[in-house]
A and B are shown apart, each in its own frame.
Chain A
């Protein structure tokens, strides 16, 4: 069981918008920055969002994220088939004194 809870899978039609949730607790998400990672099939993870809502250079503004209390969300607008991947959240956990990842969410674009 991951400390951060994500839905195992989400799906939406091409061109639509999807939201992926990441639920944690007062010892992790509430107190620390959340980042999001995209892992395309057979590839290494890639940073999508850092410090809750900031995008690294080169990441399209179709990807956005926010944090509120003990939860965070990643929104992907204008879905493309190339967005099919696993998406994972991560943050520091003060109780575990460790970095923790969510279990990952597989996105299917219909």
Chain B
């Protein structure tokens, strides 16, 4: 069974750093793209970026380029999303999802499996 299990709630203050995780199981982790999606309170979904753990090829949405870093550790089938200095406006639910691309470069076709989400409240 394909599963993406994310790390738990992280209550943070502005200026703090954070790294949240997404552990995949039930599939070949290095053969699929893993994406990150933000959902701010009461709003829709926003794509942040995607990584191919097989060769660490990483793409970012222009809206999030330079704001976050996406990485992966193949030895433990885990993808990460990290911030060096959080802002209150980063308060959101963050989802990881397995992405399917038709070839290279990656033009995403869909996200077929999703993690349960990691809630990140940022407040002083």
Binding site for B on A (CB under 8 A): 2, 32-33, 35, 37, 44-47, 50-51, 56, 86, 88, 90, 92, 94, 96-104
Contacts and interface: CB of A to CB of B under 8 A. Distances in A.
B114 A45 contact: yes
Contacts of A102: 44
Interface string B89-124: 000000101001000000111111111110000000
Contacts of A100: 47
Contacts of A99: 35, 47, 50, 61, 108
Nearest to B109: A33
Interface residues on B, range: 20 to 34
A98 B47 contact: yes
Main secondary structure of the interface of B (DSSP, over half): strand
Interface string B26-64: 000000000101000000111100100000000001110
Contact of A98 (B37, B62, B95, B109): B62
Contact of A37 (B45, B61, B109): B45
Given A51-B109, A99-B47, 4 more contacts: A37-B45, A47-B113, A50-B100, A90-B47
B114 A44 contact: yes
Given A46-B114, A98-B62, A99-B108, A104 B44 contact: yes
Nearest to A92: B107
B112 A103 contact: no
